Structure formats: structure tokens, C-alpha cells
Amino acid sequence: MNILDKIIAHKKEEVTERKGLVPTKMLERSIFFESKVVSMKKYVTDPEKTGIIAEFKRKSPSKGAINSAAKVEKTSIGYMQAGASALSVLTDKEFFGGSNEDLTTARRFNFCPILRKDFIIDEYQIVEAKSIGADCILLIAAALEPKRLEELAAFAHKLGLEVLMEVHDQEELDRSLNDQLDLVGVNNRSLKTFEVSLDTSYGLVGKIPDKFVKISESGISDPQTLVDLKKGGFDGFLIGENFMKSIRPHQAAYNFMNKYRELSPDFKTETV
């Protein structure tokens, strides 16, 4: 059993428990449930923004503790002030140290698209995502059968949410692409070995139809890499650990994005 299998097995138990504690009807009474969604697609592809989806993540199965002291309010506001296009917030507690409250806090202090980063296997979690203030959900191709993934994506659209599908290889991409998706992310980190290779992104970017917003995820630590990935065909980039491992994640993000602007031809007019 690899780490994804362990996470999904635990997630099934967790969802069953949460359904018993907080019924769907109660989730639908949230102040965020009727709020208009802020489009991840629109913000990531806005030429005046960096395309960076900045992530708040306390720990991970591969790295252990990353930053247990960081505060959601300060970090998320700092990310957006630094020039991020959007936020990603881990809400899985068991393996990533996150919570639904983390996302709700980020929502209260930021007007921008927020991705709920979790392991979604059930419609209940999508209703929950809307109720805590998310604009976009993550569906992981490696964790879902293609038909099930499409069903969940369609359900998300009914609630007005956008959908980012994450793939790790060509096989996952080929079997899981469907018209209910908005963004397709390529995760450069192998689920089996945890090794990171940007070759994964470069190898798959041309295989993703242009109607989807293309995101490169994981292992991005150099602003020049963003310039190269952008030239390669990516619209956006999900970066978390590179910022979060700093004592001051928002400052790390600010420095990174400023350097990216200096290096990127897209921002030359702003820096002259």
C-alpha cells in the first residue's frame, strides 16, 4: 500500500464520520455557500498576475513537518500582496496538518480564488468545500476511477465550483481527461518514490488540450524555472513547500515573485 492508498483509506473513514456529525443541510446554511465563486481560471491566466497558486501547507508525508508555526492570516495575505494569482490551502489534518478552518480563515481575509487541496472521493466533500469558502477543488486522477472523477467534477460545476485535476503521468492523463474539468495540473512529484522531476511537466504539457488551463505543480524552487515552464506552455504554477519552509513564508514568496518579474519578459514593461 503506497501513501496515496493509505490516505484514501483514511479519508473514507473520515468522510463517513463527518457525514454523521455535520449533515449536508447544515453545510448548505454556511454564509459562504451562496457566495459567488472567484474564477481560478481567470485569475491564473490574467497577464497582469504571476500565475502562481501559493500554497499554505504545514507538513507532508514526504517531508514531515515543514512549518508548524506559520499563521494562515498573515501568510495568505502576504502571498497575495507579493503577487500570487490564487491560494491553495491544505485541509487534510491527518497527513498534512491542515483543517477546514485554515481555508475559512484565508477566505475571510482574501478576495481571490482559493483551491481546497484535499483528497476528494465523495460529493459530501464538495458541498463542504463550498461551505468553507473554496472556489476550486482538486481531483486526483491516481485516486479516482475516470467515471467517478467525471461525476465528481460535474457535481462541483453544479455548485459553481471550478475543478483542477491532478495527474502524474501520461496514463492518468489519457484515461481521466473529460469536459467537466477547468484546469489540469501536472504533479512533478512521484507518488511512489516522492522523487521530483520537472521532466514530468515538460513531457505532458503538449498532451494537455489547450482548452484547459495548464498548471505545473511541485518541485519549483527557482524563478527561472517558472520562466522556462511558461515558455513550455504552462499557464500557472502551484508552489507551497518552497515558501513554507521559510520562517517567513510571505517574505520568501515576495522575494521569489519579484525575481520572477525581473526574469520574465511578460513583466518587462512593469519593471522598466
Residue 127 identity (one-letter amino acid): V
In this structure, how many other beta carbons lie within 10 angstroms of the beta carbon of residue 75?
A: 25
How far, in Å, CA of 53 to CA of 50, rounded? 9
- Tell me which of 14, 128, 150, 217 is the catalytic residue: 217
117 counts as catalytic: yes
On whether the CB atoms of residues 150 and 178 are closer than 8 A, the answer is yes
Return the axis-axis angle of helices 123-131 and 3-21, rounded to nearest 10°: 70
- Tell me which of 11, 41, 117, 130 is the catalytic residue: 117
245 counts as catalytic: no
- Tell me which of 67, 88, 131, 187 is the catalytic residue: 187
- Tell me which of 14, 55, 128, 162 is the catalytic residue: 55
Indicate the burial class of 232 (C-beta count within 10 angstroms; 0-12, 13-18, 19 or more). middle
C-alpha distance from residue 121 to each of 8, 46, 110 (Å) = 8, 31, 27
218 counts as catalytic: yes
187 counts as catalytic: yes
- Tell me which of 11, 57, 130, 214 is the catalytic residue: 57
166 counts as catalytic: yes
- Tell me which of 60, 131, 218, 264 is the catalytic residue: 218
On whether the CB atoms of residues 250 and 55 are closer than 8 A, the answer is no
- Tell me which of 14, 162, 166, 172 is the catalytic residue: 166
Q: Which residues are catalytic?
A: 55, 57, 117, 166, 187, 217-218
